[in-house]
Amino acid sequence: MVLATSGVDDPRFAGEAVKLTDGTVVLSMPPGRDPVVSDVLARGLLGRAFGVPLAPLPAPFEMTEV
C-alpha cells in the first residue's frame, strides 16, 4: 500500500483508492482536510479497494467506482 498526497484542489474531491495491476493499493487524499473526515473516508476507500463489506459512508459523502 502507498499513501500519497493528492494534487486535486476541487473541494468536492475527498480522495481515491486505486488498485494497480500488481495488487498495490494507492490511497491519495487531499491535504488540509478535517482529520476525522479524512479518517472516515480513508477507511471507506480502503475497505472498498480490499473488498471488505462496510456500512455506507455518512451523508453527504458518496463513493463512485470507475
Model confidence pLDDT, tens digit, residues 23-62: 999 999 999 989 999 999 999 999 999 999 999 888 888 8
Q: What is the pTM assigned to this prediction? A: 0.84
C-alpha to C-alpha distance for 53 and 43, rounded to whole angstroms: 11
Identity at 54, one-letter amino acid code: L
What are the structural domain ranges in the chain?
A: 15-49
Cβ-contact 16, 34 below 8 angstroms: no
Q: In sequence order, which residues have a C-beta less than 8 Å from that of residue 9 and are 6 or more positions away? A: 30
